[in-house]
């Protein structure tokens, strides 16, 4: 069974207690371990609860990260991002804290702990990334208190990728576990949170399929990492370093973590520019996502323009056309919506809903029983073909077929009542 870090340290302490006194040079391994951390750029800092290890990496804002520069964030309009993230106010660039962790596992229980915290921020003309490394379990309270004191003592906005359900709750759990309650409450009261996973899903899920940070780097930000350590290997490298003191295996973990934070910076600028219109949307999924947000904000004219643009994109899928037609229907442009439904009926041979909507429009708006019956039959025929291909009993088991048959019969009944001639 895997033992926790605390249990391993307790076992090590017990073995040391049974070991005879060592000669004077026994402190050399500890000294060399400290020297190895110093060689990686780490230093010991003093915080409210004691000493902890931290290093600071700095990047000029003109540095390219993929196809983007960190400086792009300076010109970004953050108002749209603030609305999407439901922040209380529009943040300043200097108040953003780009946060990522490396952890001992994927759960959020007491057995999982973050052994590396990284916080990036814009400082004058540089991006500064502070990395806090946990070197022993006893020092975790000091590390956490130092992290909060340096980055979250003042109102700030935490920017993460899936941090709302993982990184931030895990940090809060560690604070509570170590009884750092005042710090936890203080941080929670003053920190907004913009989790980029959720807007990324809306904007690019339909076009990319996968919206992990690494996938967005490759297909959106133009970044290909070379010799990057997979995140799943980080825990093993960390525990190996604890056992052996060899930092060579730990260095790639640190580099991977810093690269994640750098990607958060340029991804924030990209999303903010799309939301503000500073960068035009190019994909149908981007237009659809913007349209949905505009509808939520009751900017219906802007939403309509986005849906129309989505439908006109070369990569427009069924959903883009459907949302465009629904918006036209809701705003009373039924004839325009009907043209979109007719296009969908022709383009998507297995789709039933466009024919159903056309039958409804002909029945209720135009009182054209012949056209309504034709569209209802089209939908019914398509459903029959689908069910026969599946080997299903269309007359007994399928509610959709029954509903379509009922619609057709109702339309025919109306035609007979009004004396309309049906072919």
pLDDT value, residue 26? 35
Domain ranges within the chain, ordered by starting residue: 5-276, 286-418
Contact status, residue 171 vs residue 106, Cβ threshold 8 Å: no
The pair of three-digit structure tokens given for residue 372, joined into one six-digit string: 């309504």
Nearest to 154 by CA among 100, 194, 95: 95
pLDDT value, residue 23? 40
> pLDDT, tens digit, for every residue of 259-302?
999 999 999 999 999 999 999 999 999 999 999 999 999 999 99
pTM: predicted TM-score of the whole model, two decimal places = 0.85
Any idea what the Cα angle at residue 136 is, between residues 134 and 139, rounded to 5°?
Answer: 75
Distant-in-sequence, close-in-space partners of 315: CB < 8 Å, separation ≥ 6: 207, 283, 284, 285
**pLDDT of 152 strictly over 60:** yes
Nearest to 266 by CA among 83, 75, 106: 75
Out of 77-91, 116-130, 178-192, pick the least confident. Answer: 178-192
Give Dmax over CA atoms of the chain in angstroms: 111
Residues 371, 374: Cα–Cα separation, whole Å: 5
CATH class of 286-418: mainly alpha
39, burial (CB in 10 Å: exposed 0-12, middle 13-18, buried 19+): exposed
**pLDDT of 416 strictly over 70:** yes
CATH class of 5-276: alpha beta
pLDDT value, residue 7? 55
Q: Are strands 96-103 and 156-160 parallel, antiparallel or unpaired?
A: parallel
pLDDT value, residue 32? 73
Contact status, residue 208 vs residue 202, Cβ threshold 8 Å: no
Nearest to 112 by CA among 142, 145, 132, 134: 134
pLDDT value, residue 29? 42
Sign of the four-CA dihedral 69, 117, 239, 134: positive
Residues 118, 100: Cα–Cα separation, whole Å: 5
Contact status, residue 206 vs residue 284, Cβ threshold 8 Å: yes
Label residue 396 by pLDDT band (50, 70, 90).
Answer: low
Residues 189, 154: Cα–Cα separation, whole Å: 10
């Amino acid at each position: 069974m895997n033992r926790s870090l605390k249990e391993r340290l307790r076992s090590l302490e017990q073995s040391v207690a049974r070991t005879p006194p060592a000669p004077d040079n026994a402190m050399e391994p500890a000294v060399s371990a400290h020297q190895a951390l110093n060689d990686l750029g780490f230093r010991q800092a003093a915080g409210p609860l004691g000493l902890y290890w931290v290093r600071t990496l700095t990047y000029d804002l003109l540095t390219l990260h993929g196809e983007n520069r960190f400086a792009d964030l300076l010109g970004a309009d953050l108002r749209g991002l603030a609305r999407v993230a439901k922040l209380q106010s529009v943040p300043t660039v200097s108040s953003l804290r780009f946060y990522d962790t490396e952890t001992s596992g994927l759960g959020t229980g007491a057995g999982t702990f973050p052994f590396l915290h990284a916080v990036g921020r814009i400082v004058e003309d540089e991006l500064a990334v502070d990395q806090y490394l946990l070197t022993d379990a006893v020092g975790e309270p000091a590390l956490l208190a130092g992290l909060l004191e340096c980055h979250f003592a003042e109102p700030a906005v935490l920017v993460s990728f899936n941090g709302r359900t993982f990184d931030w709750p895990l940090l809060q759990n560690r604070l509570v576990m170590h009884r750092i309650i005042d710090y936890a409450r203080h941080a929670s009261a003053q920190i907004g949170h913009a989790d980029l996973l959720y807007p990324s899903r809306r904007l690019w899920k339909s076009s990319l399929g996968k919206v992990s940070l690494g996938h967005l780097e490759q297909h959106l930000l133009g970044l290909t990492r070379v010799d990057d350590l997979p995140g799943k290997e980080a825990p093993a490298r960390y525990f190996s370093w604890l056992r052996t003191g060899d930092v060579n295996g730990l260095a790639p973990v640190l580099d991977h973590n810093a690269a994640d934070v750098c990607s958060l910076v340029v991804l924030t600028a990209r999303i903010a520019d799309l939301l503000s219109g500073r960068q035009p949307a190019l994909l149908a999924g981007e237009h659809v996502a913007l349209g949905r947000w505009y509808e939520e904000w009751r900017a219906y004219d802007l939403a309509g323009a986005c849906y129309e643009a989505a439908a006109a994109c070369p990569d427009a899928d069924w959903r883009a056309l459907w949302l465009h037609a629904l918006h036209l229907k809701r705003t009373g442009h039924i004839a325009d919506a009907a043209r979109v439904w007719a296009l969908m009926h022709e383009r998507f041979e297995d789709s039933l809903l466009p024919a159903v909507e056309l039958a409804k429009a002909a029945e209720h708006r135009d009182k054209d029983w012949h056209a309504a019956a034709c569209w209802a039959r089209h939908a019914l025929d398509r459903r029959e073909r689908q069910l026969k291909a599946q080997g299903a009993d269309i007359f007994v088991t399928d509610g959709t077929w029954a509903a379509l048959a009922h619609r057709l019969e109702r339309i025919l009944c109306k035609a007979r009542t009004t004396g309309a001639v049906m072919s």
